[in-house]
Amino acid sequence: MNMLYLDIYGLRVKVNSSNVEILERIRKDFLYFSGQQDQPDIRIAVYKQAVPHGMIPETMASMYQPDSVSYDCGNVRYVDYHGKALVVYDYTGEEGKIYSEDIDLLHELGYLLVLSRAGEMLDIRGIHRLHALGLTYMNRAVLCIMPQGAGKTALGMDMLNMDGIKLLSDDTPLFTAGGRILPFPLRIGIKEDDSGRYDIDRKYCYRISRRNHCAKTLVTVDYFKERISGEVAPSLILIGERISSGKASIEPVSGVRSAISFFKNGVVGLGLPQMVEYFLRGGKRDFLRKSGILFSRLRAASKILERSDTFLFTVGNDRGKNSGVLKDFLSSRGYT
């Protein structure tokens, strides 16, 4: 078996597979967090083979999702993706096995399983994810909390062409119990018809075909390696809203509205790759664990909000105007 080791802020992950292509895709996904061989906290094995349905014990289903059904046997969860894939996850040893003949599905499930389990274990350590575009400008954090489909990635890609801008994450920057912002750069997914827009060397690109979504071109963090930010203090939060015109503006917003938005995207975690089928287990012990995570997120979120200025960022359908308005705003506030 071929091995891949990751180190995500001290959380060690090992992924192994006999299929070199799957392992190479996951390596590119988490390139920033490449680690050394060590005793892992999470182990995941990926098998390109026929789904072994006979592994699932005879028991009643514990969870239904649109694309999966879960079954529990003690601390082991079996997740059946309607016959197309099977994931067996042992929470006691934090060890997962993924089976499918579909290489794209194996890649997607492997990527999301790492994010889901690593996300919960980082939560326990006081490092939390925020669903937002995270940038820094002159070493000051700029967090753009925008709903899905509002154009976070497009805005981030356009902003990275400007001097002084660095990347925290195009989708999930981290915030800590101490009130700091950490980079969490993963591969960036762009629309296939946008690849020519950025004139990106193809050596930095690879393609993914996803369930229930259109195919995307993925850009590795190697392409942005000179533009990745380090740890920074919180400074500016922009609450993004979409408007059906070419207008774009940034205006003051109430503390209540900004708190609600941060609560949804950083405390509840809307839009994060949580994978409910692995995050929620049920029972008193899991309830207490999730309550502790919620409290830790709340406490950390309050520190970020206290230390940040907040504004409403209205984004329209003119991408150049959106990034231009943001750049002008940062300049006007002395961020340059």
Quote the crossing angle between the two packed helices 319-332 and 152-159, to the nearest 10°: 60
- Return d(Cα 3, Cα 267) in angstroms, integer: 34
Would you call 60 helix, strand, or coil by DSSP? coil
Dist CA 251 CA 312 (whole Å): 5
Dump pLDDT digits (tens) for 20-58: 999 999 999 999 999 998 899 999 999 999 999 999 999
Check residue 336 and give its pLDDT.
47
User: Angle at CA 279, nearest 5°, toward 256 and 241?
Assistant: 30
In 3-state terms, the chain is what percent helix, strand and coil (to 5)? 35, 30, 35
Pair of tokens at residue 264: 């949804």
Nearest to 30 by CA among 1, 54, 61, 7: 7
What pLDDT digit, counting tens, does each position of 157-212 carry? 989 888 889 999 999 999 999 999 999 999 998 876 665 667 788 889 888 777 76
In eight-state DSSP terms, residue 202 is G
Query: In whole angstroms, how far apart are CA 261 and each of 55, 110, 130, 222, 240?
Result: 42, 30, 11, 32, 9
Q: Which residue reads 């994060």 in tokens?
A: 272
Predicted local confidence at residue 5, as pLDDT: 98
Residue length of the chain? 336
Can you tell me the distance from the alpha carbon of 89 to that of 117, in angstroms, rounded to the nearest whole number? Answer: 10
Rounded-to-integer distance, Cα 192 and Cα 214, Å = 9
- What pLDDT, on the 0 to 100 scale, is given for residue 212? 67
Give the contacts of 277 (CB within 8 A, at least 6 positions apart). 63, 65, 68, 70, 77, 79
How high is the pLDDT of residue 192? 64
Reading the chain (336 residues) residue by residue, the pLDDT tens digits are 799 999 999 999 999 999 999 999 999 999 999 999 889 999 999 999 999 999 999 999 999 999 999 999 999 999 999 999 999 999 999 999 999 999 999 999 999 999 999 999 999 999 999 999 999 998 889 999 987 767 888 899 989 888 889 999 999 999 999 999 999 999 998 876 665 667 788 889 888 777 766 778 889 999 998 999 999 999 999 999 988 888 899 999 988 999 999 999 999 887 777 788 888 888 888 889 889 999 999 999 999 999 999 999 999 888 889 999 999 999 887 654
Cβ contact 134:273 at 8 Å = no
**Distance of alpha carbon 71 from alpha carbon 83, whole angstroms:** 14
